């Protein structure tokens, strides 16, 4: 384990929950002095106490260890609040519908921040009957490639895993898709919103400058 609960975290959570050192000690079956030592950095709670400490503060064990209490505002499970976590060690991809505390290979993962597609990651979106055909202009080498493409609507997430030396393309059922995400193993997460007047036509635009101009016009007409 490369992280451990600190005394500062215990003190902040204890005070936030209006619990005294004596009360916490009684809840955990330890002495007041033990709690005091934790909070002043003169000792650490035994690993067997971590789960009871988390229970005392009504949080999860990963939240306790990370020192980050998650408040998931996505109570309605809206997919438009989707977050993608990517492990830098194994490339594992975890999707959530809001805030989460996620670890992989002993590393606490942070949600990838999505950027707009750029000239080095140009996206081509074309409507083909009841599907969107999505293609990313990318070399797809073993060391530099697109890992996945995902299409997100309010009630579902469609994801296609891609592999080096393959094609950076995918097809998705339209089904109210509003955003297309794709992940480059070097440059991170990118996002392209489906734009009315552009992506709902049976033609696509893979010229970035042209697309941006069309997006501005579409925003004026339909925004």
Question: Mapping DSSP to helix (H, G, I), strand (E, B) and coil, where does residue 209 land?
Answer: helix
- Do the beta carbons of residue 127 and residue 119 sit within 8 Å? no
Backbone angles phi, psi at 172, to 5 degrees: -135, 140
pLDDT tens, residue by residue, 9-68: 899 899 989 999 999 999 999 889 989 989 988 888 888 898 899 899 888 777 787 776
At residue 215 the predicted structure's pLDDT band, cuts being 50, 70 and 90, is low
**Could you tell me where the DSSP H helices lie in 57-177?**
61-66
Cα torsion at 121, 127, 132, 133 (round to 10°)? -50
**Secondary structure letter of residue 59 according to DSSP:** -
pTM surpassing 0.95?
no
How does DSSP classify residue 43? -
**Residue 131 to residue 138: CA distance in whole angstroms:** 22
Q: Residues of the chain with pLDDT > 70: what percent?
A: 82
CA dist 42 and 40 (Å) reads 6
Mean pLDDT of the chain: 83
Highest mean pLDDT among 72-76, 148-152, 208-212: 148-152
**How far apart are the C-alpha atoms of 133 and 4, rounded to whole Å?**
46
pLDDT at 80: 86
Mean pLDDT confidence for 153-177: 94
Contacts 24+ apart (CB under 8 A), 23-28: 24/56, 27/52, 27/56, 28/52, 28/53, 28/56
Q: Can you list the domains of the chain with their CATH numbers? A: 7-66 (1.10.260.40), 79-109 (no CATH), 115-222 (2.60.40.730)
pLDDT in tens, 106-148: 777 889 999 988 888 888 888 888 999 999 989 899 999 999 9
Higher pLDDT, 59 or 71: 59
Block residue for tokens 């009684």: 26
**CA–CA gap between residue 188 and residue 125 (Å, rounded):** 20
- 3-state secondary structure at position 219: helix
pLDDT at 174 over 50: yes
């Amino acid at each position: 384990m490369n992280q451990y609960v600190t005394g500062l975290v215990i003190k902040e959570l204890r005070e936030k929950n209006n619990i005294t050192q004596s009360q916490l000690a009684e809840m955990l079956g330890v002495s007041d002095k033990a709690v005091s030592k934790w909070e002043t950095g003169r000792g650490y709670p035994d690993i067997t106490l971590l789960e009871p400490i988390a229970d005392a503060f009504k949080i999860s064990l990963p939240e306790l260890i990370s020192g980050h209490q998650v408040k998931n505002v996505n109570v309605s499970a809206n997919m438009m609040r989707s977050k993608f976590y990517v492990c830098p060690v194994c490339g594992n991809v975890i999707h959530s519908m809001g805030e989460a505390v996620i670890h992989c290979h002993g590393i606490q993962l942070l949600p990838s921040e999505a950027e707009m597609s750029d000239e080095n990651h140009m996206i081509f979106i074309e409507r083909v009957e009841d599907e969107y055909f999505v293609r990313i202009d990318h070399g797809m080498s073993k060391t530099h490639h697109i890992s996945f493409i995902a299409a997100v609507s309010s009630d579902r997430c469609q994801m296609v895993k891609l592999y080096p030396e393959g094609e950076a393309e995918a097809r998705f059922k339209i089904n109210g898709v509003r955003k297309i995400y794709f992940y480059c193993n070097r440059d991170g997460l990118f996002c392209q919103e489906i734009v009315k007047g552009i992506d709902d036509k049976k033609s696509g635009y893979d010229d970035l400058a042209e697309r941006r101009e069309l997006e501005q016009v579409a925003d004026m007409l339909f925004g």
